[in-house]
Amino acid sequence: MSDIKKFMYVNRKAPYGTIYAWESLEVVLIGAAFEQDVSLAFIDDGVYQLVKGQNTKELGIKNFSPTYTALGDYDIKKIYVEKESLEARGLTVEDLMPLKWEDENEDYAEKDSIHVVPAKELAGILDDSDVLLNF
């Protein structure tokens, strides 16, 4: 049995214009079963994937944004959003879906999964990962 590795899923593309956002999420969901140490990073246009209020009805494309809110159920709680990428796009954390997870060590208290971090800090987090997946 291998040691647990730190998997980092890097997302840098906007949703719907290409399929990368959705298909990368599919990897995350399958990967959750492998009990590794999972983090997600949203950088550049990737931050747009987390914007709330997505409505794809008139496009006829499946709205997959609800899947992000389910990540907490898969014990995925380290979702890093780069502060500089948000600010460059005129966004704040208030524009994003409020992703949560339940901490079973604290009576299932609901906590935020999204951590807005400056580039310097995210650089360290990326550097600390073992496997970096990009889409």
Partner 1 sequence: MKLSIQINEGPYNHEASNTALNFARAALDAGHEIFRVFFYHDGVNNGTRYTTPPQDDRNIIQSWTDLAKEKELDLVVCVAAAQRRGIVDEGEQQRNGKDGNNIADGFRISGLGQLIEAGIQSDRLVVFGD
Partner 2 sequence: MAILHTINKSPFDKGSLDACVRLAVKGSSVLFIEDGVYGAMKGTAKSGVVEGAKGDLSFYVLGPDLKARGIDEDKLIDGVTVVDYDGFVKLTVDNDKVQAWL
**Residue 95-134 contact track with partner 1, rule CB under 8 A, x = bound:** ------------------------------------xxxx
Least Å distance, CB 122 to partner 1, is: 19
How many Å from the N-terminal Cα to the C-terminal Cα in the chain? 28
- Compute CA distances 18 → 12, 49, 99, 100, 126, whole Å: 11, 11, 23, 26, 24
| Candidate residues 34, 62, 92, 108; the one interacting with partner 1 per rule CB under 8 A | 34
CA distance 61 to 40: 24
Rule CB under 8 A: say whether 117 interacts with partner 2.
no
Q: Which is nearer to partner 1, 17 or 118 (CB)?
A: 17
Residue pair 40/79 in contact by the 8 Å Cβ criterion: yes
Write out the residues near partner 2 by the rule CB under 8 A. 10, 12, 43-44, 82, 84, 119, 122-124, 126-132, 134-135
